[in-house]
Amino acid sequence: AQRVTQPEKLLSVFKGAPVELKCNYSYSGSPELFWYVQYSRQRLQLLLRHISRESIKGFTADLNKGETSFHLKKPFAQEEDSAMYYCALRGTGFQKLVFGTGTRLLVSP
Amino acid sequence: DVKVTQSSRYLVKRTGEKVFLECVQDMDHENMFWYRQDPGLGLRLIYFSYDVKMKEKGDIPEGYSVSREKKERFSLILESASTNQTSMYLCASSLSGEVEAFFGQGTRLTVV
């Protein structure tokens, strides 16, 4: 079975502080992992995917197969990072995404 | 720019009504999805379709059905709406084999 766990419902930090949003997954094969973000009153959109190993808006995420984790990190949070973040998994050969329960990031000035 | 458009932003329906939620995408995507988004539960897949007239159940299909008569349109049907179907409904589409899913703006359905 495919499962994504985001243990934190809310993460509150001050501007300039480091941020780590946790994501753990359960899947027996080789998954593809993603982070999606939803800013206030905007539609859900892709932030980054593990296969591209890129940094988007200062965020990075490394797939750790040993720990089955895909945590999202940013060294210095900005107020505009406040949003709902969802970790998602796609299994090999599958077309559908399985989402975690989401973490709301609140960055205060 | 990929556009996924859901026909309504807000809907209020009565218990027992038959409800149709419509979704249209303009990028010739093979895959289309319906999710519901609830606080603390995240996004849960209701149904998805990978081709015209093809459909597969997601994780929570009970009380819902879908229709995909044309490639660009994917309809979610609540046969007899109930209050526990009050939720935000998100439609998404993707190209077959591609990883990125594009989402609509959502329909907030309230069943009273």
Give the residue on A whose Cα is nearest the Cα of B33.
Answer: A96
Note whether A102 contacts B58, CB cutoff 8 Å. no
Q: What local confidence, expressed as pLDDT, does residue A91 receive?
A: 79
- Given a contact cutoff of 8 angstroms between Cβ atoms, the answer to whether B89 and B103 are in contact is no
Q: How confident is the model at residue B1 (pLDDT cuts 50, 70, 90)?
A: low
Note whether A43 contacts B106, CB cutoff 8 Å. yes
Q: What local confidence, expressed as pLDDT, does residue B29 receive?
A: 92
Amino acid at A17: A
- Render pLDDT for B54-63 as a digit per residue (tens, 0 to 9): 999 999 999 9
Q: How confident is the model at residue B98 (pLDDT cuts 50, 70, 90)?
A: confident
Task: Give the Cβ contact number of residue B98 at 10 Å.
Answer: 12
Give the residue on B whose Cα is nearest the Cα of A7.
Answer: B40
- Render pLDDT for A6-28 as a digit per residue (tens, 0 to 9): 999 999 999 999 999 999 999 88
Note whether B103 contacts A43, CB cutoff 8 Å. yes
Q: What local confidence, expressed as pLDDT, does residue B4 receive?
A: 96
CA distances to A2, A27, B21, B81 from A43, in Å: 24, 27, 17, 25
Over chain A, what HEC string results? CCEEECCCCEEEEECCCCEEECCEEECCCCCEEEEEEECCCCCCEEEEEHHHCCCECCEEECCECCCCECCEEECCCCHHHCEEEEEEEECCCCCCCEECCCEEEEEEC
Residue partners of B100: CB distance under 8 A and separation at least 6? A46, A49, B94
Chain B residues closer than 8 Å to A86 by CB: 42-43
Amino acid at A19: V
Q: Which of B3, B43, B44, B50 to mutate to test the interface with A (most CBs of A within 10 A)?
A: B43
- Render pLDDT for B63-93 as a digit per residue (tens, 0 to 9): 999 999 999 999 999 999 999 999 999 999 9
Separation of CA B33 from chain center: 6
- Given a contact cutoff of 8 angstroms between Cβ atoms, the answer to whether A42 and A59 are in contact is no
Q: How confident is the model at residue B100 (pLDDT cuts 50, 70, 90)?
A: confident
Q: Which of A88, A83, A89 is nearest to A103 (CA)?
A: A83
d(C-alpha A87, C-alpha A92), whole Å = 17
d(C-alpha A69, C-alpha B86), whole Å = 33
Q: What local confidence, expressed as pLDDT, does residue B37 receive?
A: 95
